[in-house]
Structure 1
Amino acid sequence: MNRLVIFEREYSKYLPTLQAITLSDRLRVNHVRNILKLSIGDDIKIVLENKGLATGKVISLNESSLTLNIVEQFSGKEGNIHLIVGLSRPQTCKKVIEHATSMGVSSFDFFTGALSEKSYANAKLFSEKEYEELLHLGISQSNGLYQTPELRVHKHINRELFQSKNQKYILSPFTENTFLDENLDFDRPITLALGSERGFTSKEVEIFKELGYKEIKISPSILRVEIATFAALGQLDLLAMKSKKNVI
């Protein structure tokens, strides 16, 4: 993790000063001691969940707990990409959730597609909210994001919710249209829809098109769900950087 995430339920007890914040979970304490190899007096990069970024200073550290003071706070970045994904194997969904979060996805909508295995919706990943740890890992690895993405699971294509999205695209190998052909506004939300591991049915593609989604091709190859996700997000990242460079 690039930044230590302190959850809203944790730091809220220390407001307004945010001094002597004590954490005692093994994962974060071990990471600070054994991976970052920090000591008392060292600075540490922090995400204050849903509040912003910060720099902290370690004031106490042992095998079971970490205590730190917040010395500076500053604003972070907000993700503006909404991801709609056909339910796939839990291991695939885990990769998508963690790494897409780090790449700027602000919300996930998983749905049971016509070709999805129906039992995936009841996997522990969703029923026991195991995805929350993955969202937080994604934030910690990101370049300045601080808001925990929303995640929802639907039994079918949620027409009302999915139609309300902005700049809507469905990934498809059956078009020659690419992101280069689009006049993207990176100051507004962008929505990407991907099929499950077995893809979309032609009927599902038509439903999304009726909801205003445009087909986009990101590769001449048929990609795995997680690879397609990262490839599409990477292309958008590159175009966003180019857009900002041209403005400057």
Structure 2
Amino acid sequence: MNSVIIRKEQIHDSKAVLTQEQSKHLLEIVKVKVGDELKGTILEEGLTTITVSNISDGIVEVEIGQVRKGLHFLIELIIAASRPPTMKKVFEHCSAMGASHFHIFKAILSDKSYLTSKVYERFQELSELGVSQSAVFYKAPTLKKTYQYEDIEAKGVQRFILSPYATTKLKDVKIDIERPLQLAIGPERGWTNQEINEFKNLGFEEISIGPSIMRVENASIAILGHLNQLMDRK
């Protein structure tokens, strides 16, 4: 873990007792000792430096330093349900790259069973692993799962649907990272023309991030990699 995730309810008098799992990792892998300083992420609050203040019975206690603002952008990934191993990668790696919300739904060419996978039960764990890896984002991503895409009209939202056949290239699109953003990414078998037209009717612009037919996780990471170039580290 690049940054230790801490919840507000863990903090008392500027100190926090880490979970057994966190403590085990820090003691066995990082090999911390009293006095060591580590990066910390206080979920929904910000970033900090934590100092190991006590180690007892395999549990690590830390002192919380001054909390500073981290990065947070309103980036919603609208992803057609895909195989569980794919969704696992998407949840973890995209959370590490700034995705703030995941809306998963059954596309026409998605397998219905993908929405009942147990991978969704691990969303909090996987997304927090991503936030920890980033060491710059501090808000826990959220998840919405539906059998049909449920559009929520929102003014000022930039909307794009990814397709390798689009004539408009990502490099030719001006994106304001400070404004809310929605990115629709198709299933492993791709979007149907019907779905592309439906999204376009909702105000989504069809764009291409390259000529290759990418895997879902690769397309998600590729577009977020571009967006990361627009983010300023505070």
Q: What TM-score bracket applies, with the shorter chain setting the length?
A: over 0.9
Which of these residues, 195, 199, 205, is aligned with residue 214 of structure 1? 205
Alignment deviations for residues 158-193 of structure 1 (CA, whole Å, 9 cap, x no partner): 13x2x4371100001111212221222121122110
Give the deviation of 1:229 after TM superposition: 0.6
Q: Which amino acid aligns with 2:17?
A: T
The answer to whether the Cα contact below 8 Å between 1:30 and 1:63 also exists between their aligned partners in 2 is: no
Q: Which amino acid aligns with 2:7?
A: F
Relative to 1, partners in 2 of residues 1:81 and 1:24: Cα closer, same or farther, differing over 3 Å?
A: closer
Name the CA distance, whole Å, in 1 between partners of 2:19 and 2:224: 35
Structure 2 unaligned runs (5+)? none
Give the deviation of 1:79 after TM superposition: 2.7
In the other structure, the counterpart of 2:64 is 70
Q: Which amino acid aligns with 1:202?
A: N
The answer to whether the Cα contact below 8 Å between 1:59 and 1:67 also exists between their aligned partners in 2 is: yes
> Which consecutive segments of 4 or more residues in structure 1 shift more than 3 A?
none
Residues 1-248 of structure 1: matches in 2 within 5 Å?
1-11=1-11, 14=12, 17-19=13-15, 21-26=16-21, 28-62=22-56, 64-126=58-120, 129-159=121-151, 161=152, 163-164=153-154, 166-238=157-229, 240=230
Match of 1:61, SS state, is: strand
Name the CA distance, whole Å, in 2 between partners of 1:24 and 1:106: 25
Name the CA distance, whole Å, in 1 between partners of 2:103 and 2:138: 20
Give the deviation of 1:143 after TM superposition: 4.1
Q: Name which of structure 1's ranges 85-94 and 187-196 shifts more when overlaid on structure 2.
A: 187-196
Name the CA distance, whole Å, in 2 between partners of 1:139 and 1:67: 21
Name the CA distance, whole Å, in 1 between partners of 2:129 and 2:61: 20
Match of 2:198, SS state, is: helix
Give the deviation of 1:149 after TM superposition: 0.8
The answer to whether the Cα contact below 8 Å between 1:24 and 1:64 also exists between their aligned partners in 2 is: no
Give the deviation of 1:198 after TM superposition: 1.1
Q: Which amino acid aligns with 2:165?
A: F
Aligned sequence identity (%): 37
Q: Which amino acid aligns with 2:202?
A: L
Structure 1 unaligned runs (5+)? none
Match of 2:48, SS state, is: strand
Query: For the aligned residues, what is the CA RMSD?
Result: 1.5
**Higher helix fraction (1 or 2):** 1
> For this pair of structures, how many residues does the alignment match?
231
Name the CA distance, whole Å, in 1 between partners of 2:19 and 2:227: 38
Name the CA distance, whole Å, in 2 between partners of 1:61 and 1:124: 35
Match of 1:72, SS state, is: coil
TM-score by length of 2: 0.93
TM-score by length of 1: 0.88
